[in-house]
Amino acid sequence: MYGYDLRIFREDGTVCDANEKGIVGIVPPLPPGCLSTVWGDDDRFVKTYFSLFKDPLVYSSFDWGIKDDEGYHFILGRTDDVINVAGHRLGTREIEEAIQGHAAVAEVAVVGVNDQLKGQEPVAFAVVKDQARVATPELRAALEAEIKKAVDNSLGAIARPKRVHFVTGLPKTRSGKMLRRSIQALAEGRDAGDLTTIDDTSTLDQIKAALAG
């Protein structure tokens, strides 16, 4: 959109090369229509959005993205959802998109789970279009292998999920937001946290059952 000096930055504040993943930022001045402050709390606005990069001063969107050779930008997820797999930074959204490219998958959530060797590993929870595809352990294993191969082909073996668990629904709030933090907590054996906004508690039970194997 006209008026935005959009760039992809490394964590040290330098600009990324084409096809290099980084943090999406906007070089000031911000164009008309952008949030210009937090009402009654200018300091909070500056600390929140202008504290990540000081030289140059950059508005941080807290999105993880990439710019291709032609100058098109792609959002790969929130920086909070970026996982570190053996030194490689991966956005969970890009893994999800690779998995959803499989014809059998209707919906998926990917979270990063702590791993002693690699730091973190992606774990996927997928909803399939036809439950007959996962009706037996053998069918589930076969589909899991297909999905892992699809991720390998799209992003490389480094992004391959450690596991792909199959469920019939994913935990979301009543407004439709995915409860990724709760899914991640359960995958790491922690408490799922505040669930007052969850739409269907049975979806968490499915996550627990899938993890129990």
* Residue 52: DSSP 8-state: S
Distance of CA 55 to the CA centre of its chain: 28
* Residue 66 three-state SS: strand
Q: Which of 23, 31, 100, 13 is nearest to 67 (CA)?
A: 23
Amino acid at residue number 115 = D
Cα 139 to Cα 99: distance, rounded to the nearest angstrom: 17
190: CB partners within 8 A, 6+ apart: none
Which residue in 41, 80, 194, 200 is the catalytic one?
A: 80
For residues 102 and 146, the answer to whether their CB atoms sit within 8 Å is: yes
- Whose tokens are 């990324």? That residue is 16
User: Is 80 among the residues known to form the active site?
Assistant: yes
Residue pair 91/99 in contact by the 8 Å Cβ criterion: no
The catalytic residue positions are 80
